[in-house]
Amino acid sequence: MRRGLAIIATVSVTMVIALGLTWVPELMENAEFFHVTSVEVEGLQYLDESRVHELLALAPGASVWGDLDVWAARVRRHVLVEDVTIQRRLPGGLQVAVVERRPVALRPTPVLMPVDREGRTLPVDPTLHRLDLPLLIPPPRHGGNGAIRTAAAGGVSGRSGAGEAAGGDPVLARALAREAARLSEADPGFMARVSEVGMDAEGDIFLRLTEPRTVIHYRGAASPEHLRRSLRIVDHAREVGDGEVPWAVDLRFDGRVIVRFADAQGRL
């Protein structure tokens, strides 16, 4: 008899504890002690902090025990936000860490607009943030663009016999933006001397230097070492050529570097 009563008592206590545990989260969420009183946002360079608060859309009396994933998803919807993590800072704080999409170039649309490595237009004012970024130059508008688009979709560039018809082609913009990002990440010092990243009518990439205005041509994903070598060639040519500046450096020939100079009238 006593054993039976003990079993019943144990089961009863267990049920009470279990029911209590299911109530605890709700009690904590509704407790005023855990209402959100502060939100700390970090990682912002271009996005305004007040905009992050708007995106969070925390209801009055929101608890820190609310759904962090739901709040993060709201912030992540903004085009400038690549990723976001939210952590609780008890009793009433939230810490929001934002990873922004980084502008890598300026794209004429026709107004110059910053784009990220995927060619995605970013709502960043170039004058307000003083962006020092290269300009993306699409292929000339003549002929069909199928072959160039195929090359761009498959990588950086590739040999093609056709021109490009639409300067606003998102596939081409993405290819050029990715190349600008690749070079910027691999060698920021080199990219600091580049004013334009473009594609010619044959689907090859070219870079125009800021000073001197030499154009570097290459095919495929040229290595940073190869491109730095082209800079040394340009600088050396200026030193030994009585100030004469190379018009172009061509890296498209395996094992050879072709340096072209213009005459006094600017002709090749």
| Tens of each residue's pLDDT in the chain, 268 residues | 555 545 554 545 455 455 444 544 555 556 788 999 999 999 999 999 999 999 999 999 999 999 999 999 999 999 999 999 999 999 999 999 999 999 999 999 888 999 999 999 999 998 889 899 999 999 987 544 544 444 444 445 443 333 333 346 889 999 999 999 999 999 999 999 999 999 999 999 999 999 899 999 999 889 999 899 999 988 888 887 666 789 999 999 887 889 998 754 444 4
In a domain, 14, yes or no: no
In a domain, 266, yes or no: no
Residue 247 tokens read as 């018009």
In a domain, 235, yes or no: yes
- Shared domain for 131 and 244, answered yes or no, is yes
In a domain, 95, yes or no: yes
- Shared domain for 207 and 113, answered yes or no, is yes
Measured between alpha carbons, how far is 43 from 57 in angstroms, rounded to an integer? Answer: 19
- Shared domain for 175 and 63, answered yes or no, is no
Measured between alpha carbons, how far is 59 from 248 in angstroms, rounded to an integer? Answer: 60
- Shared domain for 171 and 243, answered yes or no, is yes
- Shared domain for 96 and 152, answered yes or no, is no
Query: Looking at 100, 128, 145, which one is the last position of a domain?
Result: 100
Tally of domains within the chain: 2
Q: Is the peptide bond before 91 cis (omega within 30 degrees of 0)?
A: yes
Backbone angles phi, psi at 23, to 5 degrees: -85, -25
The closest alpha carbon to 99, from 84, 115, 120, 114, belongs to 84
In a domain, 84, yes or no: yes
Q: Which helix (H) or strand (E) holds 195?
A: strand 194-199
- Shared domain for 87 and 133, answered yes or no, is no
- Shared domain for 186 and 225, answered yes or no, is yes
Query: Looking at 100, 127, 151, which one is the last position of a domain?
Result: 100
- Shared domain for 87 and 204, answered yes or no, is no
CATH of the domain at 172: 3.40.50.11690
In a domain, 129, yes or no: yes
Residues facing residue 259 across a β-bridge: 249
In a domain, 18, yes or no: no
Backbone angles phi, psi at 113, to 5 degrees: -130, 140
Measured between alpha carbons, how far is 50 from 63 in angstroms, rounded to an integer? Answer: 20
In a domain, 53, yes or no: yes
Q: Which helix (H) or strand (E) holds 253?
A: strand 246-253
* Domain interval for residue 89: 32-100
Measured between alpha carbons, how far is 202 from 140 in angstroms, rounded to an integer? Answer: 10
- Shared domain for 128 and 235, answered yes or no, is yes
- Shared domain for 203 and 257, answered yes or no, is yes
CATH of the domain at 82: 3.10.20.310
Query: Looking at 100, 132, 157, which one is the last position of a domain?
Result: 100
- Shared domain for 161 and 198, answered yes or no, is yes
Measured between alpha carbons, how far is 197 from 139 in angstroms, rounded to an integer? Answer: 11
pLDDT at 10: 54
- Shared domain for 133 and 179, answered yes or no, is yes
